[in-house]
Amino acid sequence: MKKKECKKCKRLLSVTKFRKNKLSKDGLISWCRDCLLANNRKWKKAHPERYKELCRNYRIKHRIQINKNSRRWRNKHPERIKEFYNNWYKINQEKYKADRKTKYEKIRKEVLDLYDGKCTCCGETEIKFLSFDHTNNDGKHDRKHVGTGLKWLRHLLKNKPSDIQILCHNCNQAKGHYGMCPHQIP
């Protein structure tokens, strides 16, 4: 097996320990991989902002290839992706739930404002007491085809269906059980 001396550490190493370089006489760079790696780490530590800029520019220039490689790797290793997300969720469970709740409340407030933000029957404005009512009583259809929770709120925000009204929980329950709200009785 061929050997070569590293110009940095002066060790005699196998040629497999050197990277290729078309411009040199022997076709290899003069420093071994270990010395090159140590030097690169030292430079990165000394120039963190420049290193970030170089990485950012590389990612911009090679975005398509990076995405393609990432997608290929994710498709090959679905179990590792699942394991990663499960571990992440275990570690960040409280933060995830808090963020999700905040996002839900924000979108819910936007949708309520889109539909005037008050009960159409009694005029209640307390957000915690308000609910969405299907005027055609076809909520089951929406839950099946659109979904629930954030999905449904996003659907309302995007499409603003005309068969939705805001009722407070009392009026909504009365409408469901008795067919009409007590406020509507003459």
pLDDT tens digits for range 116-155? 999 998 889 999 999 999 888 888 888 888 888 889 899 9
User: Is residue 4 in a domain?
Assistant: no
Q: What is the mean pLDDT of residues 153-174?
A: 91
User: Is residue 91 in a domain?
Assistant: no
The pLDDT assigned to 51 comes to 96
Residue type for 43, please? W
Q: What is the mean pLDDT of residues 27-53?
A: 95
Cα–Cα distance between 31 and 35 in angstroms, integer?
Answer: 6
Number of structural domains found in the chain: 1
- pLDDT over 80 (residue 1): no
Cα–Cα distance between 82 and 69 in angstroms, integer?
Answer: 18
List all residues 6 or more positions away from 138 whose beta carbon is below 8 Å from its beta carbon. Answer: 163
Cα–Cα distance between 117 and 110 in angstroms, integer?
Answer: 9
Q: Which residue has the higher pLDDT, 3 or 142?
A: 3
Residue 146 CB neighbours (<10 A): 15
Q: How many CA atoms lie within 13 A of 10 on its CB side?
A: 0
The pLDDT assigned to 186 comes to 66
User: Is residue 161 in a domain?
Assistant: yes
- Tokens coding 56: 């950012």
User: Is residue 80 in a domain?
Assistant: no
Max distance between CA atoms of the chain, in angstroms, equals 101
- Tokens coding 105: 């409340």
Torsion of CA 98, 102, 107, 109, to 10 degrees: 140
Residue span of the structural domain in which 144 resides: 98-184
The pLDDT assigned to 177 comes to 84
End-to-end CA distance of the chain: 101
In percent, the amount of the chain with pLDDT more than 90 equals: 71
User: Is residue 165 in a domain?
Assistant: yes
- pLDDT over 80 (residue 184): no
The pLDDT assigned to 181 comes to 79
- pLDDT over 90 (residue 31): yes
Cα–Cα distance between 90 and 92 in angstroms, integer?
Answer: 6
The pLDDT assigned to 176 comes to 83
Q: Using one digit for the tens of pLDDT, what is the confidence trace for 55-100?
A: 999 999 999 999 999 999 999 999 999 999 999 999 999 999 999 9
List all residues 6 or more positions away from 88 whose beta carbon is below 8 Å from its beta carbon. Answer: none
